[in-house]
Structure 1
Amino acid sequence: MTAEFGPVLRKFRKAAGLSQERLAATSGVSVEAIKTLESGRRRNPRSITLRLLGDGLGLTTRQRTELAAAASPTERARTPRQLPDDLVYFNGRGRQVAELERLFTAVERRPGVVLTSAVAGMGGIGKTALGVHVAHRVAERFPDGQLYLNLRGFGPARPMTVLEALGRLSVSLGLEAPEDPDDVHEAAARYRSALAGRRVLVVLDDAVDAAQVAPLLPGASTCAVLITSRRTLTGLPGVAHLSLDVLPDDEALRMLEVIVGDERIANDPVSALSIVRLCGALPLALHIAGGRLADQPTWTAADLNARLTDSRRRLDELSDGNRDVRASIEFSLTAGDTATVAAFELLGLHHGEELDLRVAATLLDLPIGETEERLEHLVDLHLLESVAPRRYRMHDLIRSYVQETTARRTDAASREAARLRVLRLYLAMAWRSRELNFQTQLATDWGVAAWTAAAGNLSMDEIFAWFDIEIDELAAAVRRAVDGSPAEQALVAKIVLGLLPYFHIRRRYPDGVALATIALATVGSDPFAAALTPYELAQQCGAAGLYEQAVDYMTLALQAPKTVEYAEQHAEAEIFLGEFLMELGRLDEAAASAHAGVARAASLGAEITEADGRLILGTIAGRQDLHTVQDQEFQRAVDVVRRRSTPQAAHYILLHVGISYRDSGQLLEAAAYFELCRTSALAAGYDHAVAEALEGLGQVELARSNFSAAEQHLRDALDIVQGTWQPEARIRELLGQVLAAADRRTEAEAEWRLALDLLVRHGSHRAADDVRGLLSTSDV
C-alpha cells in the first residue's frame, strides 16, 4: 500500500535539514500549504506542487518517484480535484467574492448543518465564473476533495436527472455501482455515507431547480456546497442566497481591457463606455464583444461600438459561434411553461425602462393576479427584475431579444390590439382624474363612460401617484401612437387632454406644451377635440410663459364651432386670452377681451368664470395704476372664491391677486393674499400651490429687506418643488438674490449655479442667460 503523502514529505524535509519555513523559501510553496500537506489535512497535491517541492528539497529521480507515489493515481481518484480552471481574466466582484469566502472559511459550524450557498442570476451574468473562482480560493479548506458537476439546468441538452447526478458524484468518490441502479434513495444514502466525516467542497453548477439539487446535498457538516442557478432556489432550507447583478462600469471596462489585451479600450474611453452600456454590462456579452475586438486587430473601439449601436443587429453581433447571448436567453425560457413564454413574447411591445403590473395585465389582456403570477415566474428565471411592488425591469439585451421575438411570433393585428388596450388604459386613468376635479361641460359632453371604465373608482391622488411613476412611458406611448394606426392616432388628443390637469398640478408645463402640440396635429375632424385642444394648449403655454403662442392658440380655440356653441367655454377663452395679451403688454386689447368674457359669464350666471375674469381685469387695472378699480375687481373675485369656489380656483385667484398687488408695490396687501393662498392650498393638499404662495411671500420679504424671513419662505418652497425643474430653478434664482442682498455671496453663487444647471439641462436658454448675468455681475 502506498504511504501517506504527509509523512513522506516530512521525511525528505528533515533529511534535507530544512524547516517548513526554509522549504517554503526554496520551493515557492507557501508555509501554510506545506503545513497542510504534512498534517494530512490535504493529502493529494497537484503535479506543479510536487515539482516545486522536489526542486526545493533537491530530490533525486528515485526520491521524486517515491514522493509522487504517495500522491498515487489510485489515491487521487478517491480524492477528487474536479474544479475547472479559474479564469485568467476574472476580475471584480470583490464584495461577492469576500462574502462567499467568509461563508466557506467560517471557523464555527453548527453540527449537522452543511454550509450551502446558492448564486443566482440571469444567463451570462457570471455565476459559474464566480463560483469556480471562489472554489479555487477556498479549496485548501477541503483537503478531501472538490467535486464539480454541471447539472445542465439551462441549455440545449435536457437537465441532468437526480439519479444521473448521484451516479456521477458517487463514481468521483470511488464508489462501486449500487445493487439497484434505479433507486434514488439508495443512491443518495450511499453518496451521503461516502462523504461522512470528510471535508469535501461540492460545486453544483447550472441547477434547474431546488428539486434537482436537494438529494445532492451532503449530510455531513464537514462538507460545503456551492450552487449556481438561473433560479433563486428558495425551496432549499438554510441556504445563503447571493443574487448577481450586472457589473459596475469600472469593473466592466477593466474586463474589456483584459480580454482585448491592448490599449484600444484605454485609448478611447468614450467608445469603451458605450460598448459597456450597449452590452448592458453583462459579462457574457462583454466577453463576446471583447473577444471580437481582440480577434480583429484592425478594428478600433469605435468600430465595435458602431456595430453594436444598431439595436436590430446587436444580438447578431454578440455571438462568436461558441457563445451567444440570444441562445443564453432562449435557454432560460426553456424552463418556462407555455403561458409564461407567451407572456414574454408580448412584452416586447413595452418600451419603457420599467413595466407596471397594471400595464402588463392590459398588454397581455389577462387579470392582474394571473399576470403577476407569470411575471413572477419570469423573475424567478431572472428574465425580469422586480424593482418594487408591482414594478418590473428588463435587462436591455433581454428587451432586444423580446422585441425581435414579438415581431417574429405575433401578427400586426394582435400587436395593434395590444397597443390599443394600453392606450385605452392610459385614457381611462387620465380622463378619470380629469372628471374628478377638472371637468367642464364641453369636456363632459365629449367624454363617454367607457373611457374611464378601466380606472375603476381610483381617487385623483391614487391616479396622480401612478402618473408620477408611469408618466415618462405614458408620454412616450402617446408619441409613438402619432405614427401608429388611425385607431391609435384617434386616442392621442383624448389622452393628452385628460393628462393636462396633471401637468398643471405638478407644474410640468413644458411637458404639457410638448404633448398638447403633438395632440393638436391629430384632432382631425373631431369638433370637441378641435375646441378643447388649442384651448388647453394655450393654458399650458401661458403657464410656461410662452405668451405669444398662448395668444395664437387661444385665438384658434375661440374660432372653433364648439367653443362658440358652449357659451361658458367661450367666456373662459376670452378671459384667458385677455390674460395672455396683458402679459405681452397689450393692455387695451387685454381689457377688451376680458370684459367681453366677464359680461358673457355674468349673463350665464357663471360666477367662478366671472371671478376669473375680474381677477384679470383687476390685474390690468393695477398695471395701469388704477388702484381703486384694481381693489374693486379683486374684491368681487375674492367674494366669489370665499362663497362657492372650488379649491383649485380659490388658490389660483388668491395667488394672482397677491402677485398683482406685489407688482404694483402694495406689499402688505400682497403678503395678506399670499398667506390666504397658502392656507387654501394647504387645505386642498395642493403642494405646488403652497410652494407658489411661499415664493410670493419670499419676494415680498425680499422687497421689504427682511432677508431671514425671505430665505425661510424660499427654502420651505424648495423642499416642496425639488424634482420639478421649472419652479425649482425659479426659486433657486430668487433665493440667490436674497442671499446676495444679505451679503452671503458664496451661497448666492451656489444657488444660481444650481438654477443654471437646471435651465441649461432643460433647454430654457433665455432664463439661463438671465442667471448667467447674475453670476457675472461685479457684486457677486
Structure 2
Amino acid sequence: MSDFGPVLRKFRKAAGWSQERLSAESGVSAEAIKALEAGRHRHPRWLTLKLLGEGLALTEAQRAELVAAGSRTMVRAGTPRELPDDAVDFNGRSEQVAELQQMFTSGETRPGVVATAAIVGMGGIGKTALAVHVAHRVADQYPDGQLYLNLRGFGPGEPLTVLEALGRLSDSLGLQPPEGPEDVHEAAARYRSALAGRRVLVMLDDAADAAQVAALLPGASTCAVLITSRRAMTGLPGVAHLLLDVLPDAEALRMLAMIVGDDRTVTDPVSALSIVRLCGSLPLALHIAGGRLADQPTWTAADLNVRLTDSRRRLDELSDGNRDVRASIEFSLAAGDTATVDAFELLGLHHGEELDLRVAAALLDLPIAETEERLEHLVDLHLLESVAPRRYRLHDLIRDYVQETTDRRTDAASREAARVRVLRLYLAMAWRSSEHFQNRLATDWGASDWSAAAGRLSMDEIFAWFDIEIDEIAAAVRRAADGSPAEQALVAKIVLGLVPYFGIRRRHSDGVALATIALATAGADPFAAALTPHSLAQQYGAAGLYEQAVDYMTVALQAPKLIEYAEQQAWGEVCLGEFLMELGRLDEAAAAARSGVARAIRVGAERTEAAGRLILGTIAGRQGLPDVQDQEFGRAVEVVRQIAPQAAHYILLHVGISYRDSGQLLEAAAYFEMCRTAALAVGYDHAVAEALEGLGQVELARGNLSAAEQHLRDALEIVQGTWQPEARIRELLGQVLAAAGRQADARVEWTRTLDLLVRHGSPQADGVRGLLNG
C-alpha cells in the first residue's frame, strides 16, 4: 500500500475539511481523493499533487512531504491517466453505456470532427458515474492518455474560467507554461496543438454551460470528448446529447442492495421498493440512503423507510455530511437568475403531479408568455421536467425542497394570494364552460368578471382541459374548504360551475363529493344556499342515490332565494318527482312532477315542461297506463325538439328507458336509436354511449346476443376512463357473454367491473362478487 494516503489524510484533517470540501477547493474529484486516501489509487500524478497542495494551502515543507510520499508512484505527465476510479456499485444504464461505447469505439472519424457526447440531467442523476464508467471501458482506444477536469459548473465556489481550465489541461499534457501572460485564444491554440495527431479522451465534468466548454474541445478528430452537465450543450454543434433519467425500479433496487452490502433489502422487498420510490430513484439519494443503512447494522429496511416517509424530514435524512440532496438542488438553483428563482419559490404551492402553464401563470401572477419563459429556464437547469407542451412536472425530491422553500421564503399573505389566483382561474374556466347551461338564478348570482380569465376558450376546449386537470381542481377545492375566508368564498362558485362538466362526463361521484364540500362552505350567501343543495340533489340522483337526492332537493325547494325564481323551482319539483319515482313512491312522484309542469307552463319554461312530462310518462308506464305514457312522451319530445334540439337526446334516452322497463322493446329500440342520432349531432359522446347501452339491453332481452355484444363494446370504447358507466356497461356485457355460454369471457368482464367498483368504494361491488361466485 502507498504511503501517500495517510499523508494526504493527515493534511486534510489538520485543515478540518471533509473530502468534499477538499475536492471543491482543489478541483480534484472527491472520488479520486477517497481512492488515494484508501490506497485504492496508487498513481497520483504531478498535477494532482500540485492541485492538492494548492487547495490545502500547504507550506513549502508540507508540499515537499506530500510530493515525497507520492513520488514512488507518480506517472510521467507525457501520458496522462486522469480518470477517477470506476464506481464499484455502478449498475444498469446498459442502453446508455452501449450507445456511448459505440460512439467512442466505432472508428468512424471525419477530418476536424471530434466525437463529442454530453450527458445531461438533474443533479445527483448519475452523470459523472456513467461518464467515468464509459470512459474506462473505452480508454484503451485512446492510448495517448485520458484527461479529466472538474469544471465546477454547479457547486461551492466559482466555476473554473476558460483560461483556468485550459491551463490545467495544458499542465496535464506536460506543456511548459508560457513565458508571459496569454489570452484564451492563445491558450486554446497551444492546447489544440498539443493534441494534434494524438488519440486522447477528454472528460469535462460538471460543465456550467456551452460557453465554458467550447474552447476546451480538441481540434483533432483522433480525440474524443465526454461532457457532463446539468445544462444541455445546445450551443455546441455536432454534440450528441444523452438526457439521463432516474433509474428504473429494478436497477435502483440492485444499486441499493449493492450499497447496503447485505440482505436487508432483499429480505424486505416491500420496504426496499418504498425506499427507492421515496428517493425518487435518484442515484445520489439512493447512495445516501443505502450508506446510512450500511452504517447502521441494527436498522432494518423498514426502519429507514419510516424515517424517509415524512416529507418534511426526508431531505434532512438524505444527507450524510459529505453528500446532500438539498445542497445538490441548491447548486442548480444558484445558476438561475433572480426571476427564475422567484418563480421556483412559488411552485411549492402547487400540489398536483403535473403543473399546467395556465395554472403556473395564475400562481406566479404573470402573463402566459413570461411564465413559460421562466419555467423553461427551470427546465434548462433540470429543476423542472417538460412532460408535454405547456405541462411540467417536478421530481419528488425537488417538490419536497420547493415546498419547504416556499414556506420559508414567502409570507402567509403572498401564499394566500397565490392560492386565490389559482382558484379564480378554476372559477373562470368552470363558469365560462357552463354559460350555456346556467339558469337565471345562477346567472343573476354570477358576476361579469368571473369568467374573464378563461379568455375566448370554448366549452369543448375547457372540458378537454378539465379532463386533464380535474383531479387537481378537486383537490384544490378540498384544500380551499379548510383555507382562508377568501378561499372558502370561492368553493361553491367553482363547484356549481363544474356541474355541467360532471353531468356530461358522467362523473357523478365527483359531483357528489364536491357539492357536499360546497354546501358546508355556502355560509350566508343566499344564492349558494339555494343552488348548492339543488345541485347536490341532482348529483345524488345521477349517481342513483335517490334517498339522499330527495332529502337535498326538499331542502333546496325551501330555500328563500329559490322560491323567488319560479322556473328554477319548477325544475326542482320535476327532479324531485324523478327521485321519488325511482324510489317507487309513484303517487308522490306524480304530484311533484305535475306541480313542476304546471309551474313551467305558467312561466314559459318549455325545457322544464318537457322534462316533467317525461317523468309523468314514465310513471304512467310503471302504472300500466300506456295511453297516458304515449301522450306525455309525445308532448315531451315535441316540445324539446322545438325549443332545444341539442337537449333532445336526454328526453329520447329516458323515453327509451321507460319503454324498455315496461317491456315495449321495439318502441325502446326506436327511441334509443333516435337518442344516438341526436347525441352524435351535438357531439355528446357519453350520451351516445348511453344510447348504445340501452340498445344492448334491448337486444339482450330479445335474445340477439351478437348485436347486444357489439353495441356494448362500442359503448365501452367511448366511456373507458370514466369508471361509473364503464363498470355498468362491463357488468352488462358479462351478462351477455354468460347468456352466450362464454363463461370465461364473462368472468373477465365481471372481474374488471369488480376492480373498478372496489377501487372507488362502490356498494355495488357485492352484487358483482355474487355474479363471480355464482
Report what 2:448 is aligned to: 449
Provide the rounded CA distance (Å) in 2 between the counterparts of 1:97 and 1:547: 62
Query: Post-superposition shift, 1:107?
Result: 2.4
TM-score by length of 1: 0.89
CA distance 1:724–1:74, shift in 2 (3 Å): closer
Cα displacement string for residues 298-333 of structure 1 (whole angstroms, at most 9, x for unaligned residues): 111111111111111111111100000100000001
Q: State the shift of 1:770 in Å.
A: 1.5
Counterpart of 2:717? 719
Q: Distance in 1 between matches of 2:452 and 2:664?
A: 50
- Taking a change above 3 Å as real, the CA distance of residues 47 and 157 of structure 1, as seen in their structure-2 partners, is closer
AA partner of residue 516 (structure 1): A
Per-residue deviation, 1:453: 0.7
**For residue 634 of structure 1, what is the aligned residue in structure 2?**
633
Paired residues for 1:580-595 under 5 Å:
580-595=579-594
Asked if 1:432 corresponds to 2:432, the answer is: yes
1:33-182 equivalences in 2 (<5 Å): 76-182=76-182
The one-character-per-residue Cα deviations of 1:211-265 (angstroms, maximum 9, x if unpaired) are 0000000001111000000011111110110011111111111111111111111
User: Cα offset for 1:456?
Assistant: 1.1
* Distance apart, 1:110 and its partner CA: 2.0
2 CA distance for matches of 1:47 and 1:304?
Answer: 36
Give the distance between the partners of 1:184 and 1:621, measured in 2 at CA. Answer: 94
Residue of structure 2 equivalent to 1:732: 730
More divergent stretch after superposition (598-607 vs 483-492): 598-607
1:482-561 mapped onto 2 (5 Å cutoff) = 482-561=481-560
Distance across 1 between alignment mates of 2:75 and 2:667: 98
CA distance in 1, matches of 2:384, 2:240: 22
CA distance in 1, matches of 2:358, 2:462: 12
Q: Deviation at 1:94?
A: 1.1
Equivalent runs, 1:588-737 vs 2, <5 Å: 588-647=587-646, 649-737=647-735
State the alpha-carbon separation in 1 of the partners of residues 90 and 74 from structure 2. 33
Instruction: Please say if residues 181 and 187 of structure 1, whose CA atoms lie closer than 8 Å, have aligned partners that are also in contact.
Output: no
Mapping for residues 190-201 of structure 1, pairs under 5 Å: 190-201=190-201
- The alpha carbon displacement at 1:111 in A equals 2.1
The separation in 2 between residues aligned to 1:679 and 1:397, in whole angstroms, is: 51
Return the offset for 1:105.
Answer: 1.0
- SS of residue paired to 1:225: strand
Aligned residue identity for 1:772 = R
Deviations 1:400-438, CA, capped at 9 Å, x for gaps = 111111111111111111111100000000011111x21
* Offset, 1:671: 0.5
Q: Aligned with 1:118: secondary structure?
A: strand
Give, in whole Å, the separation in 1 of the partners of 2:755 and 2:601. Answer: 47
Q: Could you tell me how far 1:760 is from its partner in structure 2?
A: 1.1
Q: 1:764 corresponds to which residue?
A: 762
Give the letter for the 2:283 counterpart: P
Alignment equivalent of 2:745, drawn from 744, 747, 758: 747
Residues in 2 aligned to 1:697 and 1:462: alpha-carbon distance in whole angstroms: 30
Aligned length: 707
State how 1:227-306 maps to structure 2 within 5 Å. 227-306=227-306
Question: Which amino acid in structure 1 is aligned with residue 491 of structure 2?
Answer: V
Q: CA deviation at 1:468?
A: 0.9
Q: How far apart are the structure 2 equivalents of 1:477 and 1:644?
A: 38
2:202 alignment counterpart: 202
Equivalent residue number for residue 58 of structure 2:
none
Fraction of identical pairs, as percent = 82
Amino acid of the structure 1 residue aligned with 2:713: R
What is the Cα deviation at residue 336 of structure 1? 0.3
- Aligned residues of 2:42 and 2:73 also touching (Cα < 8 A): no
The AA in structure 2 aligned to 1:592 is A
Return closer, same or farther for 1:597/1:582 CA change in 2, 3 Å cut-off: same
Letter in 2 for 1:721: V
Alpha-carbon offset, residue 76 of structure 1:
3.2
Distance 1:515 1:75 in 2: 72
Partner of 2:197, secondary structure, is coil
Residues in 2 aligned to 1:608 and 1:659: alpha-carbon distance in whole angstroms: 19
Structure-1 separation of matches of 2:559 and 2:511: 21
CA distance in 2, matches of 1:185, 1:179: 16
CA deviation map 1:557-576 (0-9, x unaligned): 00101111100100000110
Give per-residue Cα distances to partners, 1:105-128, cap 9 Å, x unaligned: 112222221000000000010100
Q: 1:345 maps to which residue?
A: 345
Q: Is the 8 A contact 2:378 2:384 kept in 1?
A: yes
Counterpart in 1 of 2:381?
A: 381
Name the SS for the 2:215 alignment partner. helix
Separation (CA, whole Å) in 1 of partners of 2:640 and 2:656: 14
User: Following TM superposition, by how much is the alpha carbon of 1:180 offset from its aligned partner in structure 2, in angstroms?
Assistant: 4.1
Partner of 1:184: 184
Deviation at 1:393, TM superposition (A): 0.3
Matched, 1:408 2:408: yes
Matches of 1:47 and 1:198 in 2, distance apart?
25
Structure 2 counterpart of 1:762, one-letter code: H
Which residue matches 2:327? 327
Superimposed CA distance per residue, residues 182-221 of structure 1 (whole angstroms, 9 cap, x where no aligned partner): 4100100010111111110000000000000000000011
Task: Tell me whether 668-677 or 174-183 shows the greater mean CA deviation.
Answer: 174-183
Structure 2 counterpart of 1:296, which letter?
Answer: Q
Give the counterpart letter for 1:153 in structure 2.
G
Cα distance in 2, alignment partners of residues 74 and 770 from structure 1: 79
SS of residue in 1 equivalent to 2:160? coil
2:766 corresponds to which letter in structure 1?
Answer: D
Name the TM-score, length of structure 2 as normaliser: 0.90
Q: Distance in 2 between matches of 1:365 and 1:751?
A: 48
1:671 partner amino acid: A
Deviation at 1:525, TM superposition (A): 0.3
Is residue 379–residue 385 contact of structure 2 (8 Å, CA) maintained in 1?
yes
Secondary structure of the structure 1 residue equivalent to 2:561: helix
Which amino acid in structure 1 is aligned with residue 186 of structure 2?
E
Q: How far apart are residue 47 of structure 1 and its match?
A: 8.1
Q: Distance in 1 between matches of 2:500 and 2:601?
A: 26
CA deviation string 1:589-612 (max 9, x = no partner): 111111111111111121110000
Residue ranges of structure 2 left out of the alignment (5+ in a row): 1-40, 44-71
Aligned mates of 2:229, 2:372 — CA distance in 1? 22
Q: Tell me if the contact between 1:200 and 1:222 (Cα under 8 Å) persists in the aligned partners.
A: yes
Query: For residues 483 and 750 of structure 1, what CA distance do their matches in structure 2 show?
Result: 42
Instruction: Please report how far the alpha carbon of residue 624 of structure 1 lies from its aligned counterpart in structure 2 after TM superposition.
Output: 0.8
- The 1:314/1:75 distance shift into structure 2, 3 A limit, reads closer
Letter in 2 for 1:295: D
Tell me if the contact between 1:674 and 1:693 (Cα under 8 Å) persists in the aligned partners.
yes
Q: Is the 8 A contact 2:120 2:231 kept in 1?
A: yes
Question: Residue 124 of structure 1 aligns to a residue in which SS?
Answer: coil
Task: Read off the aligned partner of 2:329 and give its amino acid letter.
Answer: I
How far did residue 749 of structure 1 move?
Answer: 1.3
Q: Name the aligned partner's letter for residue 654 of structure 1.
A: L
3-state SS of paired residue (1:451): coil
> Distance in 1 between the 2:74 and 2:89 partners?
34
Mapped to 2, the partners of 1:559 and 1:265 lie a distance apart of: 62
